[in-house]
Amino acid sequence: MPNDLPNVVVDSLDVPAIERLRVTPSTHPPRMLLLYGSLRERSYSRFLTQEAEHLLKHFGADTRVFDPRGLPLPDGAAVDHPKVRELRELSLWSEGQVWTSPERHGAISAVMKAQIDWIPLSVGAVRPTQGRTLAVMQVSGGSQSFNAVNQMRVLGRWMRMVTIPNQSSVAKAYQEFDEAGRMKPSSYYDRVVDVMEELFKFTLLTRDVSSYLTDRYSERKESGETLMRRVNLSAAI
């Protein structure tokens, strides 16, 4: 078949190959970071996050739940603030994440958004979220809604994460948890199990090949052009 692509494209093109996906799988437990979006004493987003953590631990994951108390507003403190540093380090450590937000005025909560906003898209050549898997869940005080999970899907895509197809939305959350904060048996709980199973599987599937899956032609082309400019500059000097 004749090549009808410009040479500049061919030079940076990487033809996808199944062999690049055949790697020796990691043996350490999948590392999961869980974020929730409420500071209330009886926080249903925290309760739902804790249920997710119980399930992920049962599957064999290494989990961390970030406590948002004390996290300053975005741009309200330096990036070396202890809570900001903790959050960013946990994001780098993670291989998968769970975001759980209450729905506030048809959107995710400010607490949830602040956490996401403090995690940068990139720090130099390091991308703290790129290629990591993501599951999104929400709790509502009224009827079932999907506004919060839909917004988090947009944010996950913007953060270059692999957001799994399944999701959880718990309506009238105050009815779904007992006094100890444990979730009662229901179809809502069954869906949480579904979501955590799927997240765990997708993380196992992608974590060892995420750098290949997120390797981009446009970035390779830009890197090549930058290198060529440096070579030309050095030659001119």
For residue 204, the domain's CATH number is 3.40.50.360
CA distance 134 to 83: 22
Q: Which of 30-39, 74-83, 210-219 has the lowest mean pLDDT?
A: 210-219
Work out the end-to-end distance of the chain between its first and last CA atoms, rounded to an integer number of angstroms: 43
Residue 82 lies in a domain: yes
- Residue 232 confidence (pLDDT) above 90: no
Flag whether 3 is in a domain: no
Residue carrying the six token digits 């249903």: 44
Residue 21 lies in a domain: no
pLDDT at position 1: 44
Number of domains in the chain: 1
Helices (H), the chain: 7-12, 44-59, 82-93, 110-118, 147-158, 187-206, 210-213, 217-236
- Domain hosting 77: range is 28-236
Predicted pLDDT of residue 4: 75
In terms of phi and psi (left: phi > 0; alpha: psi -120 to 50; beta: otherwise), the region of 218 is alpha
Q: Per-residue confidence at 229, pLDDT binned at 50, 70, 90?
A: low
Mean pLDDT of 135-146: 95
pTM value is: 0.88
Output the pLDDT for position 215: 82
Residue 91 domain-assigned?
yes
**17 lies in some domain:** no
232, part of any domain: yes
Q: What is the token pair recorded at 99?
A: 């975001």
